[in-house]
Amino acid sequence: MPNLPKPRLPRPRGRRGELVSQPAAPEPQQPNVEQIDSDGLRWVNIEWPGSLERTWLEEHFDFHALDLEDVLSRNQRPKIDVYDDYLFIVLHLPVFDPQAGRLGTGELDVFVGPDYVVTIPNLPLQPVEYLFERCRAKEELREQLFSRGSGYLLYRLVDDSFDYCFPMLRKIGNKLDALEDQIFEERAEEVVRDISNVKQEIINFRKVIRPQRPVLRELERVKQRYLASDLDLEIYFDDIVDAHERIWDMLENYKEVAEALEETNESVISHRLNDILRVLTAISVVILPLTLIASVMGMNTWVPSEGHEAGFFTVLGIMAVVLVGMVAYFRRRKWL
């Protein structure tokens, strides 16, 4: 069957026969990559990595494919992988989530080579952002950090990240101090919810900090490969481990304090409940004989002084004497 001739479509024209310009092709999207170079060392920072950033990493670095998959994954545990020409480190840091109103987990992936450091946070981490911006803005600080090699820059990143935990811990400590004062201010019922929130923060903090222990120990062992030859950073990396231990000790202490406050609050609530029950019981016991007297005098049978006005006041007097006597007895026994 012969092919049918295709109709010739008119080309778009303007008012006077001029060709209408076609819309320009969209510019290719650029990867979200920031870099700082100084003294033969390059620091690359990539926030919110995606497929475009992964392609950029594949083009500029010879990283293992599994490490690149770990970068895009959201469920990585803290770890350190040692290769012949670089280290791959995964760290978790506590981050306050203002939407949820509680602590969350931020992941920091770090590639460390002889002449580069690549940081890839899965969300904005304030200590990493702050150090990166300072290095970009201050030449003196940039030369001071970069001239000592990638190992020293790695130390400053990890050290600043863990130092950032201490202000958050102090806020938790202040909350515990405030709760201790509120327990005895007749706000025990409201304090129950506040104690639960603080305990949840401590639990989340512990979940973030605890898995870092083996990673820091391993980092302390393998760090020497990327340290400057004329610089001994043994004591500095030991300080990171000590900082982690201090954080863990503070969390253990806060956990015990929160549990003690919870027990104290329950004791205060129980004590107040016992006071209420004691008063109600005393009132019931005091009213009981008065109710008995009134019931006897109100029977439909003949009683003494029935129909006499003086009898009514006599009964009231007897009831008043019984009431005062029982209250005085309870007061003397310290039941009221």
Is 6's pLDDT higher than 50? no
Q: Can you give the pLDDT at residue 232?
A: 63
Distance CA(91)–CA(125), nearest Å, equals 12
Per domain, the residue ranges of the chain are: 34-271, 273-332
pLDDT at 226: 60
pLDDT in tens, 108-121: 999 999 899 999 99
> Can you name the CATH fold of 273-332?
Methane Monooxygenase Hydroxylase; Chain G, domain 1 (1.20.58)
By 3-state DSSP, what share of the chain in percent is helix, strand and coil, each rounded to 5? 60, 15, 30
Separation between Cα atoms, residue 80 and residue 212, nearest integer Å: 10
Across all residues in the chain, what is the average pLDDT? 82
CATH code for the structural domain at 34-271: 3.30.460.20
Alpha-carbon dihedral of residues 69, 73, 78, 84, nearest 10 degrees?
10
Task: Please tell me whether residue 241 adopts helix, strand or coil conformation.
Answer: helix
Tell me the per-residue pLDDT of 256-296, one tens digit each, with 9 for 90 and over.
999 999 998 888 888 888 888 888 887 888 888 888 877 77
**Dist CA 1 CA 7 (whole Å):** 18
Is residue 22's pLDDT more than 80? no
92 pLDDT higher than 50: yes
pLDDT of res. 259: 93
